[in-house]
Structure 1
């Protein structure tokens, strides 16, 4: 099957697997979104970390060109996501179009958003976009009509409440009990679909925005185009079942960026630091039960691609990718792909690592002792993937785990997934002495007497879904733009 081949049956099968527990496993979390998308975590690139507040048509197209030329596309990295600051502001907030929707900053995007999406699609890639809840103050002030209805902005705006927004601000809440409210969001979703959007991030979402998330879920389904639906950021875990039912991913913490660069608002290198990355160990463990086909725990951008200058050592970058893969998190690069570092490119094209992310199983943390952590997940062929971490910033540490903690007893046949080397059959337990920030990632086939494998919770999706050397398809294929 090629990258652009139909994956409808595969998607449907994985979504069914998410709702039906395997024999010997624990009950699964609340049903995932049934929009038929995101059977596996999204992979690609997002503009925020590197481009930050200054996106342009030329910059986004250059990153799409670099992604295609790098070979990363052949390993599953297919999203090109334009984040915030594509809009035009005035003193009162967002400038709006005839129907009260944000206006594109044509100084940054002279050809419009559809031109960028067309460029991305021409590379065989998928285009992602950005919005936040609410309705712009300028739309209410001008009382713009709601497309296709007799209603206007003032009919649906709750001006007693404002919505979080990180750019032009001045967003009022929407009263979803008012006639015309759903139709307003519908009109926006249809506009995005007409531009060729394949993935939509709605940012600034909290518990108070559940009506907005419901409205956008409904609108995207009715838009006439398959659009993966992502929520951001630092969403409350108390509403995890709701996010899972309505969306395809949700940010589990604040930004991974350190905002410690020399440029305006902390832009520039470094993009992140180890404290921001290592904080994800705790949130990934807490959110683990809610991930599975159709909906994923988003740990934020993957800051690999630009070597040490991104703010992490090579060991830390391997641990960064290993944790994201073990969590089955979206792999959305935040770096400058026009300057792809050779060491990082080798990490990102290691299909053994990609398979760990794309097996659609979120790992559990089974050891958490100081700087020593061990994570494990069981794949549907009966093998286990185990990651050992030294999360410290100084000193080596020996990290150990008994096979019984992993889920079986006896011996295990071990392969190192970073190097690909076969380590042979190892009895009872596994240990690794790790440098600060280093990880060891292994796949283990139980080799003990029959009947010694223990039940382990987790979604069962076969690893190695894509043969070695094959072009791996995207989780879902957009229609022609």
Structure 2
């Protein structure tokens, strides 16, 4: 099979997974924050990170081996594409990090004799993406040597606050940067340019606390300035009080400390087990608390997914399925922490279950609707009008019967149920769904309401007039983007909407208008205007979405719904159309 065909098949399979994923409706209000808008992480990142398994001893050969295994195992065909080198790639001496001529960390040549760019090139040659690691501040050695800041007349000592040390987990000795000093942003810019030149696609900045917001902002600005698309991740245990800030600057943020138990038999708790159930189950509460801040472009990071090496990772098979289910329902990044060169077949089947991946990649974080002792239920709605519902027994002993009423989920009456782990069809269930679960077990289902349901039609999948673009540079849109039409009268978006019968039905158009003037549109159904010059007034910001609902006549079968701008400003940004 040719390399070109393998890439085509891989891309086709990933695309088909995406087509099968129905986007869900968030259960809570959109976060009151601007978005990073860097175009990255429209869906949560998927891949592998070195910390859990490789830990403090990464090498060029180890990282290459994991990249090879990601391809040979077939994980890449299911969307796992990032290979992330975490901490301990650097060289240290008695004063901390050894630095280059511009004060930036030096690569440990014993671990990476070919250099980081060569490693990134190798990973890219596999059709994968390369992730890297840094922490805030400037190295003590840079200050002691007073290294110049690349491209400026400034030096390390000009920008360092030597009265305070940053958090660092490896060589320590990182001073805070005083961003009120000239040269501070330029120092971070030079580091970001170096990473971009090496081929970095994902950057984790670790040890971030609220005092590091200036660093997070500086790195965001620096990464954008490189011109290279770089997924920007923050770690770890970030303050929820600053969630709007994290969301405005980054693509993901760690909501708790490490998922690793540090209880292995090796030095510093390395080796197996990698984690335990208490470290995983602690994420239920944080996932619920942070849910409102997740949407396309920015995700709540629950830490590594410790699935791949069977029971030796520290979790039973039931607990591993619950681990994956929670991450998927939360819309968390799926970054494996296990050894991909020794995958367990049971775990491989879990990780390549496209129904589970689809739940993670649908673009929404579920809300928790039941929390009673060891029983929990989470739910989110799909564009099709279906609901995805997860039931958990989070206990460590004893079976428990977990129940949920469809009214708690979001509809009434009967629903047609499919088990997403097995793919088996369970038939019609009326009013209440129950499952008796073993300790640590989960049940994940898709429910199709058998009565009236609301179906969502995304604007990015609709027909549009010339000059329209699908954009992602504002928060809280649904699907994979929103439509930004040309600024002209006559600009339009047109959906094909199905109806089982001829009837009148409610339509809801979701839009954003960040100007101070209205952007009226004609709404037509099957060529006839049903609402002329309908007002779509300012929403206060391009990041704030509003709904406009009207009732229209529909024919049985396919119907054409068009909204057409009537002024030179064009249409507002359009997210989706809901048909009741």
Under a length normalisation based on structure 1, what TM-score does the superposition of the two structures give? 0.90
Residues 1:258 and 2:261 are matched in the alignment: yes
* 1:431 corresponding residue in structure 2: 434
Within the candidate set 363, 367, 373, 1:364 is matched to 367
What does the per-residue CA deviation read over 1:309-362, in whole Å, with 9 as the maximum and x for residues that have no partner? 000000000000000000000000000000000000000000000000000110
2-structure distance, mates of 1:3, 1:238: 41
1-structure distance, mates of 2:360, 2:170: 33
Within the candidate set 166, 170, 174, 2:173 is matched to 170
In structure 2, do the counterparts of structure 1 residues 459 and 328 end up closer, same or farther at CA, with 3 Å as the change threshold? farther
* 1:461 corresponding residue in structure 2: 479
CA RMSD of aligned residues (A): 2.0
2-structure distance, mates of 1:238, 1:4: 39
What does the per-residue CA deviation read over 1:167-189, in whole Å, with 9 as the maximum and x for residues that have no partner? 00000000001110000000000
* 1:289 corresponding residue in structure 2: 292
* 1:227 corresponding residue in structure 2: 230
2-structure distance, mates of 1:162, 1:416: 51
For the 8 Å contact 1:380–1:460, the answer to whether it is kept is no
Alignment of 1:73-152 (within 5 A): 73-152=76-155
2-structure distance, mates of 1:148, 1:78: 34
For the 8 Å contact 2:117–2:198, the answer to whether it is kept is yes
What does the per-residue CA deviation read over 1:103-150, in whole Å, with 9 as the maximum and x for residues that have no partner? 000000000001110110010000000000000000000000000000
1-structure distance, mates of 2:117, 2:479: 36
In structure 2, do the counterparts of structure 1 residues 283 and 145 end up closer, same or farther at CA, with 3 Å as the change threshold? same
1-structure distance, mates of 2:417, 2:32: 30
What does the per-residue CA deviation read over 1:385-408, in whole Å, with 9 as the maximum and x for residues that have no partner? 000000001110000000000011
* 2:386 corresponding residue in structure 1: 383
Residues 1:400 and 2:403 are matched in the alignment: yes
2-structure distance, mates of 1:166, 1:417: 40
Residues 1:303 and 2:306 are matched in the alignment: yes
1-structure distance, mates of 2:247, 2:396: 35
Larger Rg: 2
| Aligned-pair CA distance for 1:459 | 6.4
Residues 1:280 and 2:280 are matched in the alignment: no
Structure with the larger RCO, 1 or 2 (CA within 8 Å, 6+ apart) = 1
1-structure distance, mates of 2:62, 2:106: 19
| Aligned-pair CA distance for 1:461 | 3.0
2-structure distance, mates of 1:171, 1:127: 25
* 1:156 corresponding residue in structure 2: 159
* 1:332 corresponding residue in structure 2: 335
More helix by share: 1
User: Number of matched residues?
Assistant: 445
Q: Which runs of 5+ in 1 are unaligned?
A: 12-16, 463-481
* 1:343 corresponding residue in structure 2: 346
Within the candidate set 238, 241, 244, 2:244 is matched to 241
Within the candidate set 29, 54, 75, 1:72 is matched to 75
* 1:353 corresponding residue in structure 2: 356
In structure 2, do the counterparts of structure 1 residues 321 and 29 end up closer, same or farther at CA, with 3 Å as the change threshold? farther
Residues 1:183 and 2:199 are matched in the alignment: no
Under a length normalisation based on structure 2, what TM-score does the superposition of the two structures give? 0.75
| Aligned-pair CA distance for 1:25 | 7.5
Q: Please state whether the residue corresponding to 1:176 is helix, strand or coil.
A: coil
Within the candidate set 31, 38, 56, 1:35 is matched to 38
Q: Which runs of 5+ in 2 are unaligned?
A: 1-7, 456-475, 481-580
| Aligned-pair CA distance for 1:3 | 5.7
